[in-house]
Amino acid sequence: MRKLIIHPIAFLGSFYYLFSALLICSCTTTQIEQSNSKNQTTSIKSSTGALSPAHLYREIKVVKKFIPKGRYGRKYKRTMKPRYITVHSTQNYNGDAWDHARALAKGKLRAPKRRNGNRIGYLTWHFTVQEDVVIQHLPTIEQGEHADFNGPGNNYSIGIEMCEHRGNSRQSTLDRTAKLCASLMHQYKIPLKNVVPHQHWPRKGTKQEHKNCPHYLMTNGRPGKKWSQFLRSVKRQYNRIQVPQAVAMTGNE
Ligand SMILES: [Zn+2]
């Protein structure tokens, strides 16, 4: 028999440990209220042409809203060399990316710190994606707390949450996430096989070791056709990247 389920994420749903109004997130039953209406229905052009890494990054529209350095989920300095990208979905039908950014920056997403569980007392991840923007919460060279306690998912992966609030286009969110994955793959030389769903990482000591996350890309709780399709879209975006050729040197002529 397993012990009590204490996943940094699942735990919150059970214990309502938060001191604010049940701000739970990261593929849980988050109840962050959507306090502003940034639901612009900006559609992303389905661009397929070649472009530079910088151009792709601009297309993604990353806004940096970091958790304050030295506080909350960044109170410990924990450096990281990214080797994986872990994709989640919020399962929060109320909060948008801005709401999640505010909650993270104010230290509202608490989780009890414990041995073999959450290591810092907070949930954190790197990027939250919605149809029209990506918000970055952590530098990609710092560890997050979103996947598997002290496992490689937290130690070596960049965590991405995809929004699911009402009115948000799932397809545009997926397209933007695919571009973000491609950009990060290029930046950190991460192979496509290391772009994984949260489901990939076992959460030792929990009842459901392999969480069904991101749930709408899993098939019966596991990667299947929908996940493969997502990976193909990541690959398509990655293949668009063309590094400008360096000017030829003349010294060897
Ligand atoms: Zn997840």
Percentage of the chain exceeding pLDDT 90: 72
pTM (two decimals): 0.82
The architecture CATH gives domain 10-33+50-240: 3-Layer(aba) Sandwich (3.40)
Cis peptide before 214 (omega within 30 of 0): yes
Per-residue pLDDT tens for 186-215?
999 999 999 999 999 999 888 899 999 999
CA 204 to ligand 1 centroid distance, Å: 15
Q: Which residues pair with 100 in a beta bridge?
A: none
Per-residue pLDDT tens for 40-64?
333 334 456 899 999 999 999 999 9
CA 146 to ligand 1 centroid distance, Å: 7
CA 90 to ligand 1 centroid distance, Å: 7
CA 41 to ligand 1 centroid distance, Å: 25
Residue 6 in this model has a pLDDT that exceeds 60: no
CA 44 to ligand 1 centroid distance, Å: 25
Amino acid code (one letter) for 29: T
Count of residues in the chain:
253
Query: How far apart are the C-alpha atoms of 101 and 121, rounded to whole Å?
Result: 17
CB of 123 closer than 8 Å to CB of 113 = no
CB of 56 closer than 8 Å to CB of 130 = no
Q: Which residues pair with 157 in a beta bridge?
A: 84
CA 25 to ligand 1 centroid distance, Å: 9
CA 52 to ligand 1 centroid distance, Å: 31
pLDDT at 47: 58
Query: How far apart are the C-alpha atoms of 181 and 82, rounded to whole Å?
Result: 12
**Domain positions in the chain:** 10-33+50-240
Burial class for 191, CB neighbours closer than 10 Å (0-12, 13-18, 19+): exposed
CA 218 to ligand 1 centroid distance, Å: 12
CA 35 to ligand 1 centroid distance, Å: 23
CA 249 to ligand 1 centroid distance, Å: 48
Residue 13 in this model has a pLDDT that exceeds 90: no
Residues in Cβ contact with 247 at an 8 Å cutoff, skipping those fewer than 6 apart: none
**What's the token pair of residue 34?**
């959507």
Q: Can you tell me the mean pLDDT for 132-152? A: 97
Residue of 91, 118, 96, 87 whose CA lies nearest to 17: 118
